[in-house]
A and B are shown apart, each in its own frame.
Chain A
Amino acid sequence: MTATTEGVAARPRQVYSWPLVWAAALAIVLGLFLMRDRLLWAVEYPAQAVIPVADWIGAIMTWLKVNLSWLTRSIAAVLGVPLNFALNLLAKGFKIGTGPEAFMLPRLSWVGICAAAFLAGRAVGGTRLGLLCGGLFLYIALFGKWTSAMLTLGLILIAVPFCILTGLLVGIWAWRRPWAEKYVVLPTLDLMQTIPTFAYLIPMLLLFGNSPVSAMIATAIFATPPMVRATMLGLSRVPTEITEFGDMVGCTVRQKLWRILLPSSRPTLMVGVNQVIMLALNMVIIASMIGAGGLGYDVLLALRALKVGEAMEAGLAIVALAIVLDRLSQAAARRQSEYHGELTGGQAFWVRYPNLTLAIILLAGTTLLSLFIPFFADVPKAITFTTAPAWRAAIDWVTVNFFDVIEAFRVFLILYVLNPVRAFFEGFPWLGAVFLLGLAGFQLGGIRLAALVAALTAFCAVTGLWEKTMATVYLTGISVVIACLIGIPIGLAASRSDRVEKIVTPIIDTLQVLPSFCFIIPVVMLFRVGDVTAMIATVAFAVVPAIRYTNHGLRQVQPSLIEAAVVSGCTKRQTFWRVQLPMALPEIMLGINQTILMALAMIIICAMVGTRDLGQEVFIALSKADAGRGIVAGLAIAFIGIIADRLFGAWTARARARLG
Chain B
Amino acid sequence: MKVASQDGPAEKAVDPRPVKLACRNVWKLYGNGASEFIQRRSGKATTAEIVEAGLVGAARAVDLEIRRGEIFIIMGLSGSGKSTLVRCMSRLVEPTYGRVEFEDKDLLSISDRELIELRRHRMGMVFQNFALLPHLNVLENIAFPLSVQGVDRREREARAREVIELVGLRGREHFYPRELSGGQQQRVGIARSLSTKPEVWFLDEPFSALDPLIRREMQDELMRLQAVLKKTIVFITHDFDEAIRLADRIAIMKDGEVIQVGTPEQLVLNPATDYVAEFTRDVQRAKVISARSIMRPLGKAQHAGTISADARVASFSADLVAAKKPFTVVDGDDQPVGEVTPDAVINLLAGIDVRREPLGTRA
Contacts and interface: CB of A to CB of B under 8 A. Distances in A.
A250 B149 contact: yes
Contacts of B174: 339-343
B129 A241 contact: yes
A252 interface: yes
Interface string A322-345: 000000000000001111111101
A257 to B, nearest CB: 13
A244 B148 contact: no
B131 A336 contact: no
Interface stretch (B5-13, B116-124, B228-236): B116-124
B4 to A, nearest CB: 32
Contacts of B137: 337, 339
A75 interface: no
Contacts of A340: 174
A120 B72 CA distance: 54
Interface residues of B, number: 35
Contacts of A345: 153
Nearest to A248: B125
Interface stretch (A259-267, A282-290, A392-400, A569-577): A259-267
A239 interface: yes
Contacts of A343: 174
B133 interface: yes
B92 interface: yes
Nearest to A338: B176
B119 A339 contact: no
Contacts of B90: 248
A249 interface: yes
Nearest to B91: A247
- With most chain B CB atoms within 10 A of its CB, the pick from A241, A264, A336 is A241
- With most chain B CB atoms within 10 A of its CB, the pick from A248, A266, A340 is A248
Contacts of B98: none
A252 B116 contact: yes
B134 interface: yes
Interface in A311-360: 336-343, 345
B120 A250 contact: yes
B135 interface: yes
Given A259-B148, A341-B174, A244 B131 contact: yes
Nearest to A260: B133
Contacts of B118: 250
Interface in B245-292: none
A248 B176 contact: no
A263 B144 contact: no
Interface in B89-148: 90, 92, 115-121, 123-125, 127-131, 133-137, 144-145, 148
B179 A249 contact: no
B140 to A, nearest CB: 10
A247 B128 contact: no
A248 B134 CA distance: 18
A336 B125 contact: no
B196 interface: yes
Contact of B176 (A259, A264, A339, A341): A339
A252 B120 CA distance: 11
Contacts of B178: 336
B129 A250 contact: no
B30 interface: no
Given A250-B116, A250-B120, A342-B174, A245 B135 contact: no
A338 B118 CA distance: 34
A382 B103 CA distance: 84
B95 to A, nearest CB: 15
Contact of B175 (A247, A263, A266, A339): A339
A262 to B, nearest CB: 10
B145 A249 contact: yes
A114 to B, nearest CB: 32
Interface of B: 87, 90, 92, 115-121, 123-125, 127-131, 133-137, 144-145, 148-149, 153, 174-176, 178-179, 196, 202
Given A244-B127, A342-B174, 10 more contacts: A241-B131, A249-B148, A249-B196, A251-B148, A264-B133, A264-B135, A266-B134, A340-B174, A341-B174, A345-B153
